[in-house]
Chains A and B, each alone.
Chain A
Amino acid sequence: MKRIKRESKKERRSLQNRIRWVAGLVVFCLSAVVVRAWYVQVINHDHYLARQQQQRSANLLLTCKRGEILAADGGRLAVTVKGKSLFANPQRIKNSKKLARVLAPILGQQATILERRLRSKRSFVWLKRSLTQSQVRALAPWCKKEKGLAFFKENQRIYPNRELAGQVLGFTNIDCCGQEGLESYYDKYLKGRQVYLEREYDAKRQVVDSYEYPELDFYKGKTVYLTIDRHIQAWAEAALAKAVTGSRGRGGVALVMNAEDGALLAMAQYPGFNPNSKRKNNPALWRNRAAVDLMEPGSTFKVFTLVAALASGRFKIDDKVDCEQGKYKVGRRTIHDTHEHGLLRLDEVLKYSSNIGCSKIVEQLGPQCFYDTLKKFGFGARSGIDFPHEPSGRLRSWRRWRPVDLCNIAFGQGVSLTPVQLTAAYAALANGGYRVVPHLVDKVVNAAGWTVYEFRHKGLKQRVCSRAVARQVDGALAQVVADDGTAPRARIPGFRVAGKTGTAQKFDFKKKCYSHNKYWASFVGYVDPPAGQSRKVVYVMVDEPKKSIYGGMVAAPAFRRINQHLVSYLNYTPDAELVELAMPLAEDAAGACDDSADAFAAEPGGGGESAADANPAVPAAPIVPDFTGQTIREALARISRYRHKVKISGQGRIVAQQPAPGSRLEPGVDFVFKLSSEI
């Protein structure tokens, strides 16, 4: 028994020893681990942290999406989408000659150039950037097959409306940086920020995302909201294209501006240009002529002579000026009018566009008074439009004017400005005498929806002429579209129209004199809106029209077409008292200008308008039909070819008419329709 106890004691001691050894070993190992951990975590902490970071994560440089450009009606004018570009690693390409031959027709490049790139000693070469969808589809099998060939996703700028407002929007380069137009001017808002994104990788270099992912939307470019309305822009472009092609002109510009605040609703140019394929277009087409091209305004400038006269207090609208029967000598030069006029009232000077009348007015005013008025309207300076490269107009100091210069400027020669500057000056007259700053951008909004920039009308407080003067000038401008004015083709039935024609000679820089066969034909005016709405100034200019040179013949019909859409779009209601049958447009016969326009001989040197010439022959008096029971619309459609005024009373269908059915329609007689009160 004792022996058993002794043995048991011995075994226990041996077990305890073994446990002690094992425990000692474990403690030693753990101590070694602790010491190593201490060494790694504390002593060499930074070194190992850096190594870990290097192995597990990488910083990617991301260029966030460029902001969108939206129209006033919400339509997208410029967007950024992810496109694909093709690159190659020449080190991994085996048969570069064969590959170049395959890729050349797909990429539309020369095989020799591609082969040279594929033989490069570098490890990265671009083969083609911004591929089309069809190119991506065709290249996809080759990217799978060839190890050294791959796609690279990058941002691509798209203009979904193609030519619409192409020159206004401008374009970006391949790296989405603004180069022209609004893309360039608002680049600081539009461009997306570059951010570094840290990504974790596993041993197989697969991305393991963490939950702390940055909100990249915050860094993307801001959204720019334009004042341009896509529909108005489209109508302006269509009307302008018709006017330019119909008159066989070289080009043209059309603008629609809100007179109250200077917001441009349309800025059309012909020929247009598609920013999606800018390289296919002539670079000369990239230029926005409405904002950057200087031109002489011609007769459209006469209205400011009238403003200067009325604002000075030395003239009243009823005062008469002797127009010297069409010839007036100033120094050694003779100023001509296209028609001989004797005494004309001030408003008639504008109506008949008399050069001599304007010259005589400014001679009495004196150069300084006239110059001061022009400066108030902003001539000779930049208008402040938010568009790059706007030139300041050319208006020399009055101290350097010779007597003949004073007269020339009075009817729009010897002074140059951009179409935008002229339209802004007309807007000041249309809004009752306040200067406006033309602008294209309404606001800029960031990704969070905060407005970071908003157009604030700085010029609203700056009065350029009194309301009374503006009203008198408005009355004079309304006479221009009368039957015997220079632009009856600008009239719109049911609406009061006011405007002014312009036919300016272009300066021939080679011959150093005004050209006798190159003109700018223009019309600028507005339609009276219903109460509570602001006027929209519409400017149309055709460069070097061939078929007819007069603004009343070439530009006024385009003005009318634009406004016909505008009054419908903006819900202007026609005034029954003002329903007047408008002259049929030349487009109804053939093109924008009929051949009769050419028969109107006029002296091309003066830059004045031919009033009588603008009127086509009146047809012989016909028999008046019976309109009883018809709607007013049907009746107007039937009598639209006669230039008779119409007076309407009541609502519904016609129950009585004047002149009576069956009688001869004598010239100058008004139609009177009485309508039933039922609807």
Chain B
Amino acid sequence: MAITGDEHPESSQWGFLNSCLLLILVLMIFYCSWVNNKIVTRGYRLSELRKTEKHLIEEQGKLEAELATLKRPQNLARLARQLGLKEPRSGHKIVMP
């Protein structure tokens, strides 16, 4: 048995409006949680990347210090002597114009 023709048009509009509002509310809640979740996930990722960056900078600092130790003049002179090189005296060096 179908009931037709005598439904109140105002109440159906009101129900539709309610449903729309509810849908918007649900969508907003979903959107807010999604954004929040994204922020937190990105935050973790950012934190990891910063940790890696910090570690790499520290490593770079250590390597630069090691390079400076290896390139210290006494070390270079010792290695040069081992390779049979001699320090130039005055007049040995020719400066090209």
- What is A's interface to B at a CB cutoff of 8 Å? 8, 16, 75-76, 79-82, 158, 160-162, 164, 200, 202, 206-211, 213, 230-231, 233-235, 238, 492-495, 564-565, 567-568, 571-574, 633, 636
Contact = CB atoms under 8 A, between A and B. Distances in A.
B70 to A, nearest CB: 9
Contact of B47 (A208, A494, A571): A208
Contacts of B64: 76, 79
A161 B72 contact: yes
A486 B44 CA distance: 76
Contacts of B9: none
Given A75-B68, A75-B72, 7 more contacts: A81-B58, A82-B61, A161-B72, A164-B73, A493-B90, A568-B93, A574-B90
Contacts of B19: none
Nearest to B8: A12
Interface string B35-51: 00000100110110010
Contacts of A633: 91-92
Query: A76, A209, A231, A571 — which one has the most chain B CB atoms within 10 A of its CB?
Result: A209
Contact of B90 (A75, A209, A233, A568): A568
Given A82-B58, A162-B72, A164-B72, A208 B65 contact: no
B90 A564 contact: yes
A202 B37 CA distance: 12
Contacts of B44: 206, 208
B50 A202 contact: no
B73 A234 contact: yes
Contacts of A206: 44, 47
A146 B2 CA distance: 77
Nearest to B51: A207
18 contacts: A8-B3, A75-B71, A76-B65, A79-B65, A79-B68, A81-B62, A82-B62, A160-B66, A162-B69, A209-B43, A209-B50, A210-B43, A233-B73, A234-B74, A565-B87, A571-B93, A573-B95, A574-B91
Nearest to B88: A568
B28 interface: no
A568 B94 CA distance: 9
A572 B66 CA distance: 33
A76 B68 contact: yes
A160 B65 contact: yes
B26 interface: no
Interface in B3-60: 3, 6, 11, 40, 43-44, 46-47, 50, 58
A1 B84 CA distance: 122
Main secondary structure of the interface of A (DSSP, over half): mixed
A202 B68 contact: no
Contacts of B95: 571, 573
Nearest to B72: A161
A234 B40 contact: no
B89 A568 contact: yes
B9 to A, nearest CB: 14
B79 interface: no
A567 B72 contact: no
Contacts of B90: 492-495, 564, 567-568, 572, 574
Contacts of A568: 87-90, 92-93
Nearest to B40: A208
Nearest to B62: A81
B43 A200 contact: yes
B43 A164 contact: no
Contacts of B6: 8
A211 B69 contact: no
A304 to B, nearest CB: 30
Contacts of A16: 11
A208 B43 contact: yes
B65 to A, nearest CB: 5
B58 A209 contact: no
Nearest to A158: B65
B77 interface: yes
A211 B71 contact: no
B4 to A, nearest CB: 11
A330 B6 CA distance: 142
B74 A164 contact: yes
A234 B61 CA distance: 24
Contacts of A230: 72-73
A200 B39 CA distance: 12
A235 to B, nearest CB: 8
6 residue pairs, one from A and one from B, having the closest CB atoms: A160-B68, A234-B73, A208-B43, A76-B68, A160-B69, A82-B58
A567 B72 CA distance: 21
A667 to B, nearest CB: 25
A82 B43 CA distance: 25
Contact of B91 (A76, A208, A233, A494): A494
A164 B47 CA distance: 40
B37 to A, nearest CB: 12
A308 B68 CA distance: 48
B80 to A, nearest CB: 12
A202 B43 CA distance: 10
Contacts of A200: 43
Contacts of A211: 46
